[in-house]
Every structure is written in structure tokens, then in C-alpha cells.
């Protein structure tokens, strides 16, 4: 069906570029496209029909993307920043890993942050979530879990760097991560692995005594506030939009320790935490303190509150569910079946009405094999990944509420992906402002999609255009990803306002100017403290002389004002490499344990005389 309207006219100007690029290509490909059956497609400026298969996601040299995508790096422990729709990787943000290009884990502050949160050199990031205000991204913080060591991290989106990590003492692995909406009042970490609480050697072989907790943190300052304990395990999590309910899945209601025990029951849970009631319990002192954290009892037979209401509700869903996500309108929480071919639809308001929480289940749609995660386009459609079938299935949410339980009728379309998808993420689908244009599917297996690189394969992040319901989902791009992203958040670019130069007032350490009094070498016993500025093409001191065995602290400021002129302080054979962006001050401490001459150099290419930007560290032999 062809209309006379220019499709671009109805679109937000921010996105008008996409159809407009199609228009430019329309002339060349018009003949072939007219023959595509059942394809209404987009219209060019002359009203000619063209295939949506022609959606152009390229971003030409010099143009910027419409969105940021923040992808977790999985067991790389970092965050990757992509531009969408180009899928260009723009930056990485080290979180739980040590990373030398950004000097992360090398300077004293980031080294101590990693040490104080357990001293591990890696983590397993899965769920990056950007803070929201009034259910829209506010672009301030990004939070992400560590599934490996039970931690949550905060990334400051002004500087795109990790600025705080909380070690959650009652978690072994923190899996799901999300904030309480609408205003990110709490950051939640979802404890996946059941262990004794506290895990101090008690109840080693009595799994019935193990448990998991949901941990609540305040976003700023980033502090651990309280936990809620349950007997089952907890997996993925998402927040309602109303500030009351937080949802997690649980695949181990059996409280088993083996795979066969964990898959024995026909049903497991969506666990719905009532946050205001839990807060009241914390306020009233109704908790046990474990590892210094107030732990509220949220187990199935926990006491009701004074109004006779449960703090936590357990909703039966088919065996071993995985993802749970709330629709952009806040009406439904939808859990994906994993071992069961269905998604279960829970009407959130009903949780306050019904005596039996199972009565809040208003729909169950049969989507296919291995449903893991569900995203939304804001037009009433859900998109669910099918791990086993290697497909994405698009289905109609209200049709699924109206249909009989277990019906396949609400399914609109299935599209192959390559291969075995985990998460999928639609633009701003985790907010009330789902944009409905781009969808990224994170395929765990890429097999034959890229040049072979040995037995460790990249993953395949596939970009789909979902903005045209008549044409259906369009696969537009394959993108290889270093192992191993799990989830992402896609944020409209105009919601972020990153700094390009540090504001010295945001940093802990005082700015060191070139003035003589700011630059000094001080000794106290065998501790040497040095402060010096740096700029193109030198450090404040040409030579620094210390004694073998000294503990040396060097603090340095990059006094450049010009953006993108970075320096660093690299010291060979001392494992020192501190990045210094313009107006940034960092400090590093090391032991001068071998006598000799060491050229302290700048590792960031900064000018034609970059190689000459170096000073000598002279370590005199001990007597």
C-alpha cells in the first residue's frame, strides 16, 4: 500500500537522517524493490515506494551517531561504548579490569578502589543501566554488576570513568542490575548464587540453609543501604515505573545445588519486591545485621507487615525463567521462559489487588524455543530472543493478554539471527521513552560470520531496524564483539553531556601549576614525594634522583587546556603507566627497587616531539 506522505515528515528531526539517506538510494534501486512482496517500505521524496530492506545504517565520515550504546564486556570486566546506528566502537570504560591505555588500576586512586573492593583483577559485567529521572535517561551515571565477585560499580558519564565500586558482602555473584524507577532512588544488585549468609564456613553442606539477597544501594553517594533475603536464587531484574515494585526471576526455587535439582520443578518464580514495605521494615529495625548490612527477611514464610501485606510476592512461572523486563508504559512485567517456550505477562497493578499473586498473570504467549530476554518498541510490540531457535520473535503484547494462555497467535514475525542470541536491546526500551527504531541483538555465537581468528571467536552484535511495522524487522549489520557482551543500554545522544577536559574541582588532588612552589621533591625517611606539572613536551623535572629501596610517590598535572592532548607518565620496569588527560592530576606510588637509569616517558602521542617528552629517574645504589 502506497500513500502520498513523506515518511520523514512524521519523524523526530533527530532521526530524520535515516529515511533521508534511503531516499538518496531510492533511485538506484527502485526497480528491484518494487517487486518485494508484502513490503510497504519507506517512501522517497517523490512518493515512490522503496523497500525498507534498504535502510542505511552507515554513518559517513565526519557524521556522528544518534545514540550511545553501552555494552557490558562480560568477563573482560569492562564496558564498551558504541555509536548507533554505525555500531562503531567509540570507547571502552574499564570497570573491574586493569587497563593500561586509560591508566586504570595504575594510579593510586583507582588502584585503591580496586583493592578496597576485593583486590581482584577481573570481573564479569552483564547489565549496564543508565540512571533515569522521571523514567527517562538523565545521562548521569551508568551502573553495572560483577557476576564474578558480587560487586556493583558506578561510572560517571561526565568523564566516562568508573568512580566507585561496592563490594556486596552477602552476594557471591551479583547478576541482575537495575535502579528503582522512576528516579533511580536505589541501585539494585541481584544476588544469583545461593550461599550461607554469612558465608563464613557454616552450613557448608546444608544447602537448605543457603540463600540469596537483593541488595539496595543509594546512587549518590554510592552506598550500600540494605539487603532482602530470599531462599531461592535470583537472576535478572527490572524495576516497575511507579517506584513500588522490583522484579527478579528465580530459576532455582528448588534450592538445589545440581543441574538436575535446579530443573526438577515445573515452575519457578518471578519474585516481586515491594520496596516501600521493605523500607518500612528497615526503618522499624525489623532486620538482622549480616556483614554490617541490614538484611530484611523476604522469604516465602516471612511475616506480613502491620497492614497484613507481604514484603515480597512469589509468582509462579514455567520452569527456569531468565529475563524479566517491564514494558515502557509500566503496565506489565514480562518474564522469558528459557526452558519453557513461553513468556509470562504479569500485570503490575494487580499485585496490589489480588490475594494470590498468580492471579496477576494476565497472559502467556508461546514464542518459540529458549526465550531469554524481551525488549520493546513503544508501539505495543515485544521482541524476545530465542536462544535455541536462533531467532528474534516479535509479538503483540495486548494480543497476548487477550489470547488464551499458551497461544502462538500474538506472534507477528520471527527473524533469524546469527547465532544463539542472549540479550536484545531496543533504543531506550528500559525507559518510558522507547524509541522504536533500532534493536541490537547480542548473539553469543558468531560461527561463520567473520574471518576465522582461531578457536576463540568474537560474538556477533546484530543491528536491526524495527521502525517499520509493515516491512518488519530489517537486519542491517553484523558487528564482531570481543568476548563477551551480555546486555546494553541504548541512550539518545542528546541526553549525555560529557566533559572533554577535566574540571580540576572534580578531582581529589590539587592542580599542580608550572609555578616553582608547586613543583618539588620532598624526602621523609625512605619515602619520596614528588609533585610536578607536565605539558608538551616535558615533565616538570628533567631529573629525579632517589635511593634504591625508596618508596616514591609522583603526583602530576597535565596543564594542557586543549582537548584531546593527553600525556601519560610511564616508567619502564616499574609497571607504572598513568594517563593524564588535559587538566587532570593523578598520583602513583612505586618502589625504586633496582639502581639504574629509567626514562620516564609519555606514552600518549601528543606532538611531533612526543618521543622527546621524557625525564630521567636516577636510582642510586644503596650504600
| SS3 letters across 540-568 | CCCEEEEECCCEEEEEEEECCCCCCCCEE
Is the bond leading into 92 cis (omega within 30 degrees of zero)? no
Residues numbered 308-367 forming contacts with ligand K7E, rule: CB under 6 A: 322-323
Residues numbered 166-185 forming contacts with ligand K7E, rule: CB under 6 A: 175
The count of chain residues that interact with Ca ion, using the rule CB under 5 A, is 3
Identity of the residue, 392 or 602, whose beta carbon is nearer to ligand CUA in the bound complex: 602
Contact residue for Ca ion among 235, 268, 377, 587 (CB under 5 A): 268
Q: What is the CA radius of gyration of the chain?
A: 27
Q: Which residues contact 608 (CB under 8 A, 6 or more apart)?
A: none
Identity of the residue, 151 or 579, whose beta carbon is nearer to ligand K7E in the bound complex: 151
Residue 320 in contact with Ca ion, rule: CB under 5 A: yes
Residue 570 in contact with ligand CUA, rule: CB under 6 A: no
Residue 602 in contact with ligand CUA, rule: CB under 6 A: yes
Residues numbered 1-60 forming contacts with ligand K7E, rule: CB under 6 A: none
Please say whether the beta carbons of 83 and 67 come within 8 A. yes
Residue 110's H or E segment, with its range, is helix 108-116
Strand residues in 436-525 grouped as ranges (E): 438-443, 459-465, 474-481, 488-492, 520-524
Residue 117 in contact with Ca ion, rule: CB under 5 A: no
Residue 162's H or E segment, with its range, is strand 161-167
C-beta pairs of 6-15 under 8 Å, 24+ apart in sequence: 6/43, 6/45, 6/47, 7/42, 7/43, 14/66, 14/492, 14/494, 15/66, 15/435, 15/437
Residue 264 CB, shortest distance to ligand K7E, in Å, is: 22
Residue 565 CB, shortest distance to ligand CUA, in Å, is: 8
Residue 602 CB, shortest distance to ligand CUA, in Å, is: 3
Contact residue for ligand K7E among 92, 171, 277, 486 (CB under 6 A): 486
Identity of the residue, 44 or 235, whose beta carbon is nearer to ligand K7E in the bound complex: 235
Contact residue for ligand K7E among 414, 423, 495, 574 (CB under 6 A): 423
Contact residue for ligand CUA among 494, 523, 527, 605 (CB under 6 A): 605
Contact residue for ligand K7E among 236, 331, 429, 446 (CB under 6 A): 236
Residues numbered 106-135 forming contacts with ligand K7E, rule: CB under 6 A: 126-127
Backbone dihedral region for residue 193 (phi beyond 0: left; psi -120 to 50: alpha; all else: beta): beta
Identity of the residue, 49 or 431, whose beta carbon is nearer to ligand K7E in the bound complex: 431
The count of chain residues that interact with ligand CUA, using the rule CB under 6 A, is 7
Residue 235 in contact with Ca ion, rule: CB under 5 A: no
Residue 75 in contact with ligand K7E, rule: CB under 6 A: no
Q: Which residues contact 483 (CB under 8 A, 6 or more apart)?
A: 74, 75, 76, 456, 458, 459
Residue 312 CB, shortest distance to Ca ion, in Å, is: 18
User: Stretches 20-28, 206-214, 262-270, 600-608: which one binds ligand CUA (CB under 6 A)?
Assistant: 600-608
Is the bond leading into 125 cis (omega within 30 degrees of zero)? no
The grid coordinates listed for 539 are: 615533565
| Count of C-beta atoms within a 10 Å radius of residue 61 | 5
For the chain, how many residues are written? 623
Identity of the residue, 299 or 537, whose beta carbon is nearer to ligand CUA in the bound complex: 537
Residue 232 CB, shortest distance to Ca ion, in Å, is: 9
d(CA 480, CA 512): 43
Residue 610 in contact with ligand CUA, rule: CB under 6 A: yes
From residue 512 to residue 551, the character string flagging contacts with ligand CUA as x (rule: CB under 6 A) and all else as - is ----------------------------------------
Please say whether the beta carbons of 413 and 397 come within 8 A. no
Residue 241 burial (10 A CB sphere; 0-12, 13-18, 19+): buried
Q: Which residues contact 553 (CB under 8 A, 6 or more apart)?
A: 108, 527, 528, 529, 530, 587, 588, 589
Interface contacts to ligand CUA, rule CB under 6 A = 567, 602, 604-606, 610, 613
Interface contacts to ligand K7E, rule CB under 6 A = 126-127, 175, 236, 322-323, 372-373, 422-423, 486-487
Interface contacts to Ca ion, rule CB under 5 A = 251, 268, 320
Amino acid at each position: 500500500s502506497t500513500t502520498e506522505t513523506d515518511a520523514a515528515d512524521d519523524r523526530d528531526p533527530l532521526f530524520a537522517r535515516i529515511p533521508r539517506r534511503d531516499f538518496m538510494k531510492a533511485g538506484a534501486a527502485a526497480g528491484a524493490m518494487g517487486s518485494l512482496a508484502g513490503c510497504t517500505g519507506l517512501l522517497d521524496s517523490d512518493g515512490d515506494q522503496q523497500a525498507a530492506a534498504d535502510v542505511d545504517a552507515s554513518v559517513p565520515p565526519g557524521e556522528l551517531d544518534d545514540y550511545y550504546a553501552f555494552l557490558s564486556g562480560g568477563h573482560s570486566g569492562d564496558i564498551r561504548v558504541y555509536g548507533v546506528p554505525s555500531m562503531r566502537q567509540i570507547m571502552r570504560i574499564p570497570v573491574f579490569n586493569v587497563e593500561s591505555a586509560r591508566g586504570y588500576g595504575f594510579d593510586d586512586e583507582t588502584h585503591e578502589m580496586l583493592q578496597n573492593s576485593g583486590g581482584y583483577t577481573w570481573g564479569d559485567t552483564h547489565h549496564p543501566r543508565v540512571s533515569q529521572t522521571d523514567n527517562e535517561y538523565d545521562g548521569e551515571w551508568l551502573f553495572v554488576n560483577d557476576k564474578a565477585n558480587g560487586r556493583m560499580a558506578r561510572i560517571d558519564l561526565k568523564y566516562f570513568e568508573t568512580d566507585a565500586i561496592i563490594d556486596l558482602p552477602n552476594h557471591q555473584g551479583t547478576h541482575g542490575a537495575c535502579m528503582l524507577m522512576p528516579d533511580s532512588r536505589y541501585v539494585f544488585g541481584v544476588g544469583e548464587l545461593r550461599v550461607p549468609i554469612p558465608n563464613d564456613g557454616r552450613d557448608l553442606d546444608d544447602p537448605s540453609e543457603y540463600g540469596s539477597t537483593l541488595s539496595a544501594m543509594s546512587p549518590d553517594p554510592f552506598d550500600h543501604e540494605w539487603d532482602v533475603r530470599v531462599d531461592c536464587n535470583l537472576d535478572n531484574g527490572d524495576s516497575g515505573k511507579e517506584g513500588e515494585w522490583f522484579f527478579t526471576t528465580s530459576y532455582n526455587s528448588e534450592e538445589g545445588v545440581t543441574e538436575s535439582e535446579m530443573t526438577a520443578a515445573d515452575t519457578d518464580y518471578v519474585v516481586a519486591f515491594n520496596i516501600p514495605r521493605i523500607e518500612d521494615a528497615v526503618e522499624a529495625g525489623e532486620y538482622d545485621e549480616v556483614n554490617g548490612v541490614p538484611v530484611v527477611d523476604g522469604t516465602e514464610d516471612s511475616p506480613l507487615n502491620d497492614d497484613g501485606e507481604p514484603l515480597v510476592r512469589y509468582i509462579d512461572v514455567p520452569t527456569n525463567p531468565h529475563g524479566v523486563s517491564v514494558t515502557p508504559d509500566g503496565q506489565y512485567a514480562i518474564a522469558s521462559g528459557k526452558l519453557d517456550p513461553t513468556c509470562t505477562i504479569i500485570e503490575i497493578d494487580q499485585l496490589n489487588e489480588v490475594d494470590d499473586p498468580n492471579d496477576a498473570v494476565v497472559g502467556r504467549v508461546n514464542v518459540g524455543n529458549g526465550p531469554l530476554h524481551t525488549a520493546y518498541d513503544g508501539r505495543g510490540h515485544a521482541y524476545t530472543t530465542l536462544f535455541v531457535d536462533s531467532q528474534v520473535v516479535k509479538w503483540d503484547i495486548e494480543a497476548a493478554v487477550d489470547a488464551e494462555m499458551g497461544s502462538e497467535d500474538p506472534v507477528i514475525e520471527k527473524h533469524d539471527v546469527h547465532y544463539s542470541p542472549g540479550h536484545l536491546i531496543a533504543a531506550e526500551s528500559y525507559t518510558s521513552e522507547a524509541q522504536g527504531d533500532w534493536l541490537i541483538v547480542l548473539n553469543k555465537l558468531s560461527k561463520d560470520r567473520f574471518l576465522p581468528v582461531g578457536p576463540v571467536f568474537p560474538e556477533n552484535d546484530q543491528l536491526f531496524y524495527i521502525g517499520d511495522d509493515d516491512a518488519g524487522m530489517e537486519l542491517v549489520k553484523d558487528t564482531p564483539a570481543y568476548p563477551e557482551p551480555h546486555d546494553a543500554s541504548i541512550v539518545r545522544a542528546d541526553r549525555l553531556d560529557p566533559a572533554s577536559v577535566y574540571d580540576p574541582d572534580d578531582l581529589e588532588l590539587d592542580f599542580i601549576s608550572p609555578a616553582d612552589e608547586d613543583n618539588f621533591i620532598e624526602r621523609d625517611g625512605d619515602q619520596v614525594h614528588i609533585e610536578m606539572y607536565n605539558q608538551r613536551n616535558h615533565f616538570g623535572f628533567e631529573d629525579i634522583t632517589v635511593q634504591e629501596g625508596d618508596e616514591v610517590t609522583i603526583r602530576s598535572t597535565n596543564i594542557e587546556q586543549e582537548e584531546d592532548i593527553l600525556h601519560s607518565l610511564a616508567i619502564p620496569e616499574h609497571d607504572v603507566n598513568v594517563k593524564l588527560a588535559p587538566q587532570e592530576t593523578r598520583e602513583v606510588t612505586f618502589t625504586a627497587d633496582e639502581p639504574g637509569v629509567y626514562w620516564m616517558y609519555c606514552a600518549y602521542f601528543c606532538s611531533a616531539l612526543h618521543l622527546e617528552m621524557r625525564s630521567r629517574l636516577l636510582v642510586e645504589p644503596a650504600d
